[in-house]
Chain A
Amino acid sequence: MKIKIISILLTTLLFSSCSSWIDTSINTDPNNPTDVAMAQLVAPIEVNLAYVVGGDLARTSDGWMQQIAGLQSQSADNDIYNISEADVDNAWSYNLYSPGMINTKLLMEKAVTTKSPHFGGIAKILMAYHLGVTTDLWGDIPYSDALNGASGQIKSKYDTQEKIYTTIFSLLTDAITDLSSTTSVYKPAAEDLIYGGDLAKWKKTAYALIARYKLHLAKLNGATAYTDALTALANAYTSNDDDLKLAFGTAYNNSNPIYQFTQERGGYIAANSYYINMLTATNDPRLAVYFDGSVGSASGESNSSASGIGVNYASINSTVYLMSFAEVKFIEAEASFKTNDIPRAVAAYNAGLKSSLNREGVYDATWFATNSITAATITLEKIIDQKYLSSFLQIETWTDWRRTGYPTLALAKGAVTTEIPRRLPYPQSERLYNGANMPAGLTVTSRVWWDKN
Chain B
Amino acid sequence: MLFNLKLFYMKKIALLLAFFAIGLQVLLAQTKEITGKITSADDGSAIPGVTVSVKGTTLGTISDMNGVFKLKVPQDSKILLFSFVGMTTQEVAINNQSTINVSMATERISVDEVVVTALGITREKKSLGYAVQEVNAEDINKAETGNVLSALTSRVAGVNITSSAGTAGASSFITIRGQNSITGSNQPLFVVDGLPIDNSMEYSGNPDDGINNLTNGVAYSNRAIDLNPDDIESVSVLKGGAATALYGMKAGNGVVLITTKKGSKTDGKMSVSLASSISIDNVNQLPATQSMYAQGVNGKYATNTPYSYGPKLSDMRYDGATNSTRDVNGNLVLATDPSAKANLTANAYDNVGNFFQTGTTLNNTLALSGGDKISNFYISIGNTTTNGIIPKNTFAKTSIKLSGETKLGSKVTASGSVNYVRSGGDRVQQGSNTSGVMLGLLRGATSFDNSNGHGKDGYKFQDAYMYPDGTQRRYYAAYDNPYWTVNQNLFNDQVDRVIGNLSLVYKPTKEVTIAYKLGDDFYSDRRKGHFAIYSANAPDGQQQVDNHYSNSLNSDLTVNFNKELFTDFNVNITVGNNMYQTYYQQLYTQGDIFVVPDFYHMSNTSSQFVREYTSKYRTAAFFGDFQFSYKNMLYLGVTGRNEWSTTLPASNNSFFYPSASLGFIFTELPALKGNKVLSYGKLRASYAQIANAPSPYSIQNVYTSATVSDGWATGNSFPFNGTAGFKVSNGLGNTNLKPESLLSREIGAELKFFDNRIGLDFTYYNNQNKDLLIAVPISGSSGYNSTYMNAATMENKGVEIMLSVTPVKTKDLIWTLSGNFTKNVNKVLSLAPGVDNISLGGFTGIEVDVVAGEPYGSIYSTGFYKDANGNVIINDAAGAGYGLPIKDNTMKSLGTVAPKWTLGINNDFTYKGIGLSFLFDIKHGGLMWNGTKSRLMGFGTAKATENRGQAVVFDGVKGHIVNGEIVSAGAKNDIQTTYSEYYYKNIGGGGSPAQEQFVEKTDWVRLRELTLSYELGSVLKTPFLKHLKVYATGRNLWLSTPYDGIDPETNLMGASNAQGFDYFNMPNTKSFVFGFKLDL
Contact A150 B781 (CB under 8 A): no
Contact A191 B723 (CB under 8 A): yes
Contact A255 B716 (CB under 8 A): yes
A165 to B608, CA, bound (A): 42
Please report which residues of chain B, range 728-787, place their CB below 8 angstroms from some CB of chain A when the two chains form the complex. 728-730, 732, 777-785, 787
Q: Contact mask B693-729 → A, CB, 8 Å, 1/0?
A: 0001101111111101111111111101101111111
Contact B508 A18 (CB under 8 A): no
Contact A99 B727 (CB under 8 A): yes
A359 at the B interface (CB under 8 A): no
CB-based closest 4 A-B pairs: A93-B780, A73-B991, A251-B607, A102-B783
Partner of B593 from the list A98, A142, A252 (CB cut-off 8 Å) is A252
A77 to B938, CA, bound (A): 14
Please report which residues of chain A, range 1-40, place their CB below 8 angstroms from some CB of chain B when the two chains form the complex. 2-3, 6-7, 10, 14, 17-18, 21-24, 26-36, 40
B199 at the A interface (CB under 8 A): no
Contact B712 A101 (CB under 8 A): no
Most buried by A among B614, B837, B964: B964
A21 to B616, CA, bound (A): 12
Contact B721 A193 (CB under 8 A): yes
Contact B720 A154 (CB under 8 A): no
Residues of B within 8 A of A101 (CB): 783
Please report which residues of chain B, range 501-530, place their CB below 8 angstroms from some CB of chain A when the two chains form the complex. 508, 512, 514
Given contacts A32-B702, A51-B715, A148-B782, 12 further A-B contacts (CB under 8 A): A21-B618, A24-B646, A41-B726, A97-B782, A99-B728, A102-B730, A155-B779, A156-B782, A251-B608, A253-B592, A264-B537, A434-B779
Q: Contact mask B478-511 → A, CB, 8 Å, 1/0?
A: 1000000000000000000000000000001000
B342 at the A interface (CB under 8 A): no
Contact A102 B784 (CB under 8 A): yes
Residue on B with the closest CB to A263?
B539
Residues of B within 8 A of A257 (CB): 710, 713
Contact B779 A32 (CB under 8 A): no
22 contacts between A and B (CB under 8 A): A3-B514, A18-B620, A22-B644, A31-B612, A44-B727, A47-B706, A48-B706, A77-B991, A87-B844, A94-B785, A97-B780, A98-B783, A102-B783, A147-B783, A148-B782, A191-B723, A253-B716, A305-B304, A414-B880, A416-B961, A433-B835, A443-B963
Contact A24 B650 (CB under 8 A): yes
Task: Name A's interface SS.
Answer: helix
Residue on B with the closest CB to A413?
B880
Contact A86 B891 (CB under 8 A): yes
Q: Please judge, given known A-B contacts A47-B725, A95-B710, whether A148 and B844 are in contact too, CB under 8 Å.
A: no
B536 at the A interface (CB under 8 A): yes
Most buried by B among A6, A153, A193, A416: A416
A147 to B785, CA, bound (A): 11
Residue on B with the closest CB to A104?
B783
Contact B781 A97 (CB under 8 A): yes
Partner of A22 from the list B206, B305, B653 (CB cut-off 8 Å) is B653
Q: Please judge, given known A-B contacts A266-B434, A304-B305, whether A34 and B783 are in contact too, CB under 8 Å.
A: no
Q: State the A residues within 8 Å of B (CB).
A: 2-3, 6-7, 10, 14, 17-18, 21-24, 26-36, 40-44, 47-48, 51-52, 55-56, 72-74, 76-77, 82, 84-87, 89-99, 101-103, 105-106, 141-142, 146-150, 153-156, 190-191, 193, 248-255, 257, 260-261, 263-267, 300, 304-305, 413-416, 418, 427-430, 432-434, 443, 445
Contact A26 B881 (CB under 8 A): no
A9 to B937, CA, bound (A): 73
Q: Please judge, given known A-B contacts A105-B783, A146-B782, A432-B777, whether A47 and B647 are in contact too, CB under 8 Å.
A: no
CB of A54, distance to nearest CB on chain B (Å): 10
Partner of A260 from the list B700, B713, B723, B835 (CB cut-off 8 Å) is B713
CB of B364, distance to nearest CB on chain A (Å): 42
CB of B511, distance to nearest CB on chain A (Å): 11
CB of B86, distance to nearest CB on chain A (Å): 36
A235 to B38, CA, bound (A): 110
Contact A31 B716 (CB under 8 A): no
Contact A29 B702 (CB under 8 A): yes
B658 at the A interface (CB under 8 A): no
B68 at the A interface (CB under 8 A): no
Please report which residues of chain B, range 612-643, place their CB below 8 angstroms from some CB of chain A when the two chains form the complex. 612-620, 622
Contact A250 B607 (CB under 8 A): yes
CB of A194, distance to nearest CB on chain B (Å): 12
Partner of B697 from the list A29, A55, A56, A77 (CB cut-off 8 Å) is A29
Contact A149 B620 (CB under 8 A): no
Residues of B within 8 A of A148 (CB): 782-783
B571 at the A interface (CB under 8 A): no
B224 at the A interface (CB under 8 A): no
Q: Contact mask B642-656 → A, CB, 8 Å, 1/0?
A: 001111001001000
Q: Number of B interface residues at 8 Å Cβ cutoff, please give it.
A: 107
Residue on B with the closest CB to A29?
B697
CB of B303, distance to nearest CB on chain A (Å): 11
A141 to B782, CA, bound (A): 12
Contact A147 B781 (CB under 8 A): yes
A74 to B713, CA, bound (A): 13
A93 to B777, CA, bound (A): 11
Partner of A33 from the list B703, B713, B716 (CB cut-off 8 Å) is B703
Residue on A with the closest CB to B836?
A432
Contact B783 A43 (CB under 8 A): no
Contact B477 A142 (CB under 8 A): no
Q: Please judge, given known A-B contacts A31-B614, A86-B844, A252-B593, whether A265 and B713 are in contact too, CB under 8 Å.
A: yes
Q: Please judge, given known A-B contacts A105-B783, A106-B728, whether A47 and B716 are in contact too, CB under 8 Å.
A: yes
A230 to B815, CA, bound (A): 96
A35 to B616, CA, bound (A): 21
CB of B1075, distance to nearest CB on chain A (Å): 46
Contact B607 A254 (CB under 8 A): yes
Q: Contact mask B856-883 → A, CB, 8 Å, 1/0?
A: 0000001000000000000000011100
Q: Please judge, given known A-B contacts A31-B612, A253-B717, A443-B964, whether A266 and B536 are in contact too, CB under 8 Å.
A: yes
Please report which residues of chain B, range 777-802, place their CB below 8 angstroms from some CB of chain A when the two chains form the complex. 777-785, 787
A89 to B712, CA, bound (A): 12
A445 to B559, CA, bound (A): 75
Residue on B with the closest CB to A97?
B780
Q: Please judge, given known A-B contacts A23-B646, A31-B697, whether A73 and B990 are in contact too, CB under 8 Å.
A: yes
A33 to B724, CA, bound (A): 13
Q: Please judge, given known A-B contacts A82-B889, A154-B779, whether A98 and B834 are in contact too, CB under 8 Å.
A: no
Contact B559 A99 (CB under 8 A): no
CB of A195, distance to nearest CB on chain B (Å): 14
Residue on B with the closest CB to A48?
B708
CB of B581, distance to nearest CB on chain A (Å): 8
Residue on A with the closest CB to B702?
A32
Residues of A within 8 A of B615 (CB): 31
Partner of B609 from the list A21, A33, A103, A251 (CB cut-off 8 Å) is A251
Contact A47 B720 (CB under 8 A): yes
Contact A26 B617 (CB under 8 A): yes
Contact A429 B477 (CB under 8 A): no
Residues of A within 8 A of B711 (CB): 56, 89-90, 94
Residues of B within 8 A of A248 (CB): 716
Contact A154 B699 (CB under 8 A): no
A14 to B621, CA, bound (A): 10
Contact A86 B646 (CB under 8 A): no
Residues of B within 8 A of A47 (CB): 706, 708, 716, 718, 720, 725
A85 to B779, CA, bound (A): 14
Residues of B within 8 A of A43 (CB): 706, 718, 720, 723-725
Q: Contact mask B582-623 → A, CB, 8 Å, 1/0?
A: 000000001011000000000000111100111111111010
B667 at the A interface (CB under 8 A): no
B462 at the A interface (CB under 8 A): no
Residues of B within 8 A of A74 (CB): 844, 991-992
B579 at the A interface (CB under 8 A): yes
B45 at the A interface (CB under 8 A): no
Contact B725 A56 (CB under 8 A): no
Residues of A within 8 A of B590 (CB): 253
B557 at the A interface (CB under 8 A): yes
